[in-house]
Each structure stands twice: as structure tokens, then as C-alpha cells.
């Protein structure tokens, strides 16, 4: 017991005497919120120069997810650019007009009796070196087909928004959720 107390006291003393500013001090100081550059042995398509962006794109993405759950993808078709590129979790890709993309997605959604999504995290970010706006979402989707079979997946999607705040590119990744062990 004494050993734990000594170690805890040492850790607290070290933390209190750190020369680094507390996170709240950094936040209050108005420092640039751009991430530090990353030294990488790989060529990176986007630098680490991202900043938090206006939440309106994240809110738009949440609206699109809700439209999927509600089964009405045309409800907010104005959030899509005239042409869309999408890369899906199964490796398939689509580059087509907004109306064709929505028709294909609606056809896919019509295979389900219900879809229920939950969101774990969402954020809007801006790539300062590419001047692009993105919304990134992590969540779970539980689909029930018309025969009553339930299927659950974890999703991660990255959506790009153009200068008119309309989405024009989406990347999707998913992992099936295994049924509970008996």
C-alpha cells in the first residue's frame, strides 16, 4: 500500500512540475489549431495540415444518415453536388450524376425493412493545404431485411464537401459485427 502511495505521489509531483503548459492554457492562448507536421517515411496524399471546420458539413452528413434510416434519400438531394464519386466498403466505386447515385442508393435501401444508425463520433475538418472541407463519421448501422433478418455493421465514412457545401466524394469502410457468442 505504501508503495502505491509513493508512486502516486511521485506521479502527481512530476505532473505538477511539468514545464509544458496545461491543455486549457494552450486552448486559451489562441494557438493555431493546425496539427503538427508528421515526419513520415511514406508519401502522404494529404499533409497533416487539418483544422477543425464549420460544423455545418457534419450536420449535413448527419441529415444524410437520417435520410438513409428514414428510407427517403431524395429528402435532401440538394446536399449532393451535380456529380458524385463514391467508394464503398466492398471495393465497388461509382462516379455518376447526383440523380443516378441517389437512385442506386435508394434501390439498395429499398431492400431493407428498416435501418437504424447510431453515431459514435463525427467531426468537420478542413485540409488547409488542399483547401478542402471534409466530414468524418464513425457509427453503427443495424439493418433488417424484408424477411426479418438483422445485420449489424460498424461504419466509418469520410465525405468531402465542395465550395457550395455539397458533398461530391465519399469513402466508406465497414466491419461486420459478429453475433454474440453463446
Number of domains in the chain: 1
pLDDT tier at 53, thresholds 50, 70, 90: very high
pLDDT at 15 over 60: no
78 versus 9: the higher-pLDDT residue is 78
41 found inside a domain: no
Over residues 12-34, the mean pLDDT reads 41
Whichever domain contains 138, its CATH number is: 3.10.450.50
85 found inside a domain: yes
102 found inside a domain: yes
- Determine the pLDDT at residue 122: 98
78: nearest Cα among 171, 170, 167, 158: 167
21 found inside a domain: no
Q: What is the pLDDT of residues 26-46, one digit of tens each?
A: 334 444 555 677 788 988 887
45 found inside a domain: no
30 found inside a domain: no
28 found inside a domain: no
- Determine the pLDDT at residue 19: 43
Classified as helix, coil or strand, 33 is coil
161 found inside a domain: yes
Structure-block grid coordinates of residue 61: 452528413
Phi and psi at residue 122, to the nearest 5°:
-150, 145
What is the rounded average pLDDT for all residues in the chain? 84
Classified as helix, coil or strand, 46 is coil
Q: What is the pLDDT of residues 82-103, one digit of tens each?
A: 999 999 999 999 999 999 999 9
- Burial label, 134 (beta-carbon count in 10 A; 0-12, 13-18, 19+): buried
- Domain that includes residue 153, residue range: 50-176
- Determine the pLDDT at residue 24: 34
- Determine the pLDDT at residue 35: 63
Quick one: what percent of the chain has pLDDT higher than 70? 81
Amino acid at each position: 500500500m505504501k508503495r502505491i502511495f509513493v508512486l502516486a505521489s511521485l506521479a502527481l509531483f512530476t505532473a505538477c512540475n511539468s514545464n509544458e503548459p496545461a491543455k486549457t492554457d494552450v486552448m486559451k492562448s489562441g494557438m493555431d489549431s493546425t496539427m503538427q507536421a508528421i515526419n513520415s517515411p511514406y508519401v502522404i496524399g494529404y499533409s497533416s495540415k487539418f483544422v477543425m471546420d464549420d460544423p455545418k458539413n457534419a450536420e449535413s452528413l448527419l441529415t444524410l444518415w437520417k435520410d438513409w434510416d428514414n428510407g427517403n434519400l431524395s429528402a435532401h438531394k440538394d446536399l449532393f453536388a451535380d456529380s458524385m464519386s463514391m467508394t464503398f466498403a466492398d471495393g465497388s466505386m461509382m462516379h455518376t450524376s447526383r440523380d443516378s447515385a441517389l437512385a442506386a442508393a435508394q434501390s439498395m435501401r429499398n431492400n431493407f425493412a428498416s435501418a437504424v444508425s447510431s453515431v459514435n463520433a463525427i467531426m468537420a475538418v478542413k485540409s488547409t493545404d488542399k483547401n478542402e472541407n471534409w466530414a468524418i463519421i464513425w457509427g453503427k448501422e443495424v439493418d433488417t431485411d424484408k424477411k426479418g433478418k438483422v445485420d449489424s455493421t460498424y461504419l466509418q465514412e469520410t465525405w468531402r464537401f465542395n465550395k457550395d457545401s455539397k458533398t461530391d466524394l465519399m469513402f466508406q469502410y465497414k466491419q461486420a459485427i459478429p453475433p454474440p457468442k453463446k
